[in-house]
């Protein structure tokens, strides 16, 4: 395992792609500035991540634990690409730490099964984005209490932010600048999850979707 998990790195001055270059959800046309990570690139990167996960964790019953709601697309695509030669079960947990685009600093567990099913399993936590990293740190310590054989985390995106607690997941799709992104299941107050691409929202249009 590399000390620093490799990822595609989007630079701070990454311009993104014009929305007109892709098919998009028309009702969001005015609300988005740029396509930041196109869906096809997410697919290609996820295919490789699934292979890396299987190489490191595939020797034993794997439980893929999805952090809802933002993780659902990444979770499904990661699973679709996984090796089918070992038993894998899935579980779902729901946490909430955001209101508008600010972390409230407090993490609430809203749903989830009995975590004792994770004991002695190889557990892969799957989430959409690691921002401050506090959510994942909290969830990791929660899972570890149930004595899994191994626990690792996969995050589609990692944000470069000064607010970070310097936690980095074991598997990272893309490292992005400190911008608020939506799409591919990431939301702004529950909107934009239905977008295929990861996009940057237009600042002036945020008010329309304020909680």
The closest residue (CB) to ligand HPA is 131
- Pick one of ligand HPA, Mg ion, none as the site partner of residue 198 (Cβ within 5 to 8 A by kind): none
Whether the bond between 59 and the residue before it is cis, its omega within 30 degrees of 0, is no
The catalytic site residues sit at 131
The answer to whether 159 and 36 have CB atoms below 8 angstroms apart is no
Task: State in angstroms the smallest separation of the CB of 150 from ligand HPA.
Answer: 26
For ligand HPA, the closer of residues 46 and 135 by Cβ is 135
Residue 49: which of Mg ion, ligand HPA, none does it interact with, CB under 5 to 8 A by kind? none
Residues that bind ligand HPA (CB under 6 A): 98, 129, 131, 180-182, 186-187
**In sequence order, which residues have a C-beta less than 8 Å from that of residue 124 and are 6 or more positions away?**
53, 57, 62, 63, 64, 65, 151, 152, 153, 154
Contact at 8 Å (CB) between 158 and 169? yes
CA distance 78 to 170: 14
Contacted entry of ligand HPA, Mg ion, none for residue 50, CB cut-off 5 to 8 Å set by kind: none
Q: How far apart are CA 133 and CA 164, in angstroms?
A: 6
Least distance (Å) between residue 179 CB and ligand HPA? 7
Cβ closest to Mg ion, residue 44 vs residue 101: 101
- Find which of ligand HPA, Mg ion, none residue 57 binds, CB within 5 to 8 Å per kind: none
The residue among 57 and 128 lying less far from Mg ion, judged by its C-beta, is 128
CB of 182 to ligand HPA, least distance (A): 6
In the complex, least distance from residue 132 CB atom to ligand HPA, rounded to whole angstroms: 8
d(CA 7, CA 199): 18
Cβ proximity to Mg ion, 88 vs 176, nearer residue: 176
Per CB under 5 A, residues contacting Mg ion are 98, 187
């Amino acid at each position: 395992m590399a000390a620093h998990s490799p990822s595609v790195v989007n630079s701070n001055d990454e311009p993104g792609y014009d929305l007109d270059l892709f098919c998009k959800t028309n009702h969001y046309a005015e609300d988005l500035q740029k396509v930041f990570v196109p869906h096809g690139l997410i697919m290609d990167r996820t295919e490789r991540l699934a292979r890396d996960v299987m190489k490191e964790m595939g020797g034993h019953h794997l439980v893929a634990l999805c952090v809802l709601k933002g993780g659902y697309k990444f979770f499904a695509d990661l699973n679709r690409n996984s090796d089918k030669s070992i038993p894998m079960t899935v579980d779902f947990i729901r946490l909430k730490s955001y209101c508008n685009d600010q972390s409230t600093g407090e993490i609430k567990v809203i749903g989830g099964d009995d975590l004792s099913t994770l004991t002695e399993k190889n557990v892969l936590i799957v989430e959409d984005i690691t921002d401050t990293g506090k959510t994942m740190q909290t969830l990791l310590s929660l899972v570890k209490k149930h004595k899994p054989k191994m626990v690792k985390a996969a995050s589609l995106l990692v944000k470069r932010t000064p607010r970070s607690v310097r936690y980095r997941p074991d598997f990272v799709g893309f490292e992005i600048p400190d911008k608020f992104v939506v799409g591919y299941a990431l939301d702004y107050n529950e909107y934009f999850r239905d977008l295929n691409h990861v996009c940057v929202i237009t600042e002036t249009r945020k008010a329309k979707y304020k909680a």
